[in-house]
Structure 1
């Protein structure tokens, strides 16, 4: 499960309305009938309209300055393996989202009226999306890029010939384009994979828009706080503050496992991701020390993500990873993490 929390921000400026972001989340409804459309939901309701989402988020910004975010975006990105475990069910993802948002509330080191924050204090709206598109950071796009660049150059040349600005053989150029299209290493349904093309297979994920203010519009709740859990003296009183992202991520992961009886492999865990980022050598060492069955699953997951696991196949007692070997593994696993392809 790859979870992100992002502050509402566009080109260094905070928009005063959530309308553009909500419209972005409506993209999958384009061209669909009313019956086919997917709507927003929250902890307590279904079939929530975009108008209500915008009205409620925009109307819940008391005392926030123009230089402060009005809302945060949370994404819950299950891996292909996790989606298979829940049979890619939108209803299962809705149930999981509601449980994950309980953990979100618990991660705040804050109190309201003398009690800990709970999910009733969180104003949020969520939406299950069923598709993903290829982005510039994806391996398929990066490795197809030299072909894409050359094809664009040739098409530009053809336009120049057609406009009478230069001479050349259009037929010959078109044949070269066809060859490049066929040689591109990554294709889907007979076509070269390009940015914006829908990815194959289960791609369900959840987008959540959550207000910076609590549901009563009296208190600020920022998951972007730099403080995990601390207390400060304000107006002569001790006040709790902070949001613990690690706790939220870990507990959300455990919630998924408990809810769906999911057996999570080490390389799928948030702990593994943190270990990889802080101490890659320890991360690789942990994989080689897994029980045989678990190690086999770990290797399979990494290989599916395009990671060369040959170096990790060395018996543990003989494992001597050189700096060069570690850097090769880091590069592969780092790209897999960026794309969320191993769910960590």
Structure 2
């Protein structure tokens, strides 16, 4: 799971004006189908209007909104069958983590955000294949490329803020301005309290997916693994590689056992009724060491006449 918060820039990355340009761009794949904290199928025009109106006490050049991109891996998408409803539920859980990560005691309902699921991605200048000339820019990427774009206002939900203030629940003079690009991280002193820890947010949204869908995430798919392999010391990287190798070996052993069980059952089903009980009696461990009664060759009994002749001699 990749949780990305692009920085502000030029063109569609410019966040100090209206959100209309980015909203219109995100209509390219399918029109409509925006959703929010508690709504579905929000029209694009309403998305732009609501985001642009939710601002107070911000300078003209200040960021008014931000974009959060949630990109599940193809393994994660297979795990949930790329179910749109599950992706929407997960997005709301990720935005709960977004709100909590500011350390200001706010929830998802205290945000103004709208999200949209997309299923296609194209190659861009940052892709290695484009840089080396193997792939042309703008080509569709293979595989399931489902991801989610979230546009979230920098200012907390003004309608909810005003309601809570009138009800006496808040004594703050102004609403919060929430920037995930701030350099403050859990600040306890000064003008800015709280902050936003981006690494912690990446880990939180990863854990939210695992808990919601019972996903057993391999070490090599974790944000921690990717971060340490890129920024860690040689000793940290070596230790992590050893841990990942052991985990992979254990997973392979479990897979072999799981695959063997159905094959054994299928083999039993192909046997005759007379053979099945005999195989079922002997445990696998015992069968490997000592042949059980069913595995020993049958000894024919002596013919009946010879038995009578022997008895006669004894007399």
TM-score by length of 2: 0.69
Moved more, 213-222 or 53-62: 213-222
Aligned residue in 1 for 2:142: 200
The answer to whether the aligner puts 1:109 opposite 2:103 as a matched pair is yes
Q: 1:225 maps to which residue?
A: 182
Match of 1:259 in 2: 212
Find the structure with the greater CA-based Rg. Answer: 2
Partner residue of 2:248 out of 267, 289, 294 = 294
Match of 2:45, SS?
Answer: helix
Q: In 2, are the aligned partners of 1:3 and 1:249 still within 8 Å (CA)?
A: yes
For 2:137 and 2:251, the matched residues in 1 are separated by: 31
Q: Distance in 2 between matches of 1:50 and 1:215?
A: 19
Contact 1:212 1:220 in 2 (8 A): yes
Query: Are the aligned partners of 2:156 and 2:177 in contact in 1 as well (CA < 8 Å)?
Result: yes
Provide the secondary structure at the position in 2 that maps to 1:63: coil
Q: Return closer, same or farther for 1:96/1:226 CA change in 2, 3 Å cut-off.
A: same
Matched, 1:269 2:222: yes
Name which of 2, 8, 33 aligns with 1:39.
Answer: 33
Name the CA distance, whole Å, in 2 between partners of 1:137 and 1:75. Answer: 16
Q: Is the 8 A contact 1:124 1:210 kept in 2?
A: yes
Count residues in correspondence.
Answer: 235
Give the aligned CA root-mean-square deviation in angstroms.
2.3
Question: Quick check: 1:128–1:205 contact (8 Å CA) kept in 2?
Answer: yes
Unaligned stretches of 5+ residues in structure 2: 162-174, 253-315
Instruction: Assess if the C-alpha contact under 8 Å between 2:55 and 2:155 holds in 1.
Output: yes
Q: What do residues 95-136 of structure 1 show as CA deviations (whole Å, max 9, x unaligned)?
A: 1101111111110122xxxxx111111110000000011123
CA distance in 1, matches of 2:128, 2:41: 36
Superposed displacement of residue 202, structure 1? 0.6
Q: Which residue is equivalent to 2:296? A: none
- Shift in CA distance, 137/284, structure 1 to aligned 2, threshold 3 Å: farther
Question: Who is 2:29 aligned against?
Answer: 28
Unaligned runs of 5+ in 1: 30-36, 111-115, 146-185, 187-192, 299-344
Residue in 1 that maps onto 2:264: none
Match of 1:138 in 2: 127
Give 1:209 shift: 0.4
Alpha-carbon distance between aligned partners in 2 of 1:125 and 1:247, rounded to the nearest angstrom: 22
* TM-score (normalizing by structure 1): 0.63
**C-alpha distance 201-284 of structure 1, shift in aligned 2 (>3 A):** same
Following superposition, the deviation at residue 13 of structure 1 comes to 5.8
- Larger mean CA deviation between 268-277 and 74-83 belongs to 268-277
Secondary structure of 2:94 counterpart: helix
**Matching residue of 1:249:** 202
Which protein has the bigger strand share? 1
Deviation of 1:15 (Å):
4.1
Give the C-alpha shift of residue 215 in structure 1. Answer: 0.4
